[in-house]
Amino acid sequence: MSVCEDHGLAQSKSNAKQGTRPAPGSSMLTKKQIDGLRRRLLKKGSEINEALTWLLAGEKVDVEKLLGGGKPGETPEEKLRRFLNLIDDRIQAIARGQFGLCEECRGEIPFNELDEVPWQKACRHCALAEARSP
């Protein structure tokens, strides 16, 4: 934990359901937070692109080191492509102003979760539910 932890974030916890949203369907993230996450998404995207290029050229790529949390049976190439899609999708979500909202329940994903994994598109609750389903 380091970089820039914005203050005032703690106030937007659970009982901020009514009144405080900037606009319906948009997240509580500040522009600065989104910009920072966007930069990280772009950086990760180019790292993955590079790794994919090496992989397709027959080089050995440590995909586990680049991207944690794979699905069982997934090849390194599939994994890289899946994350590229995810990142691409998130960058489009930023453009639509939908970044930081869970794709399942439309709830807000807290900044500290996005800070850990900027390309996640479901809140922890929905992600766990999905992981449990077969």
State the residues that interact with Zn ion by CB under 5 A: 102, 104-105, 107, 123, 126
Q: Which is nearer to Zn ion, 97 or 107 (CB)?
A: 107
User: What is the nearest approach in angstroms of Zn ion to the Cβ of residue 51?
Assistant: 29
User: What is the nearest approach in angstroms of Zn ion to the Cβ of residue 69?
Assistant: 18
User: What is the nearest approach in angstroms of Zn ion to the Cβ of residue 75?
Assistant: 29
- The answer to whether 114 touches 92, Cβ cutoff 8 Å, is no
User: What is the nearest approach in angstroms of Zn ion to the Cβ of residue 109?
Assistant: 8
Q: Which is nearer to Zn ion, 61 or 111 (CB)?
A: 111
Q: Which is nearer to Zn ion, 79 or 121 (CB)?
A: 121
Gap between the Cα atoms of 86 and 45, Å rounded = 9
Gap between the Cα atoms of 71 and 53, Å rounded = 21
Torsion over CA: 20, 87, 125, 130 (sign): positive
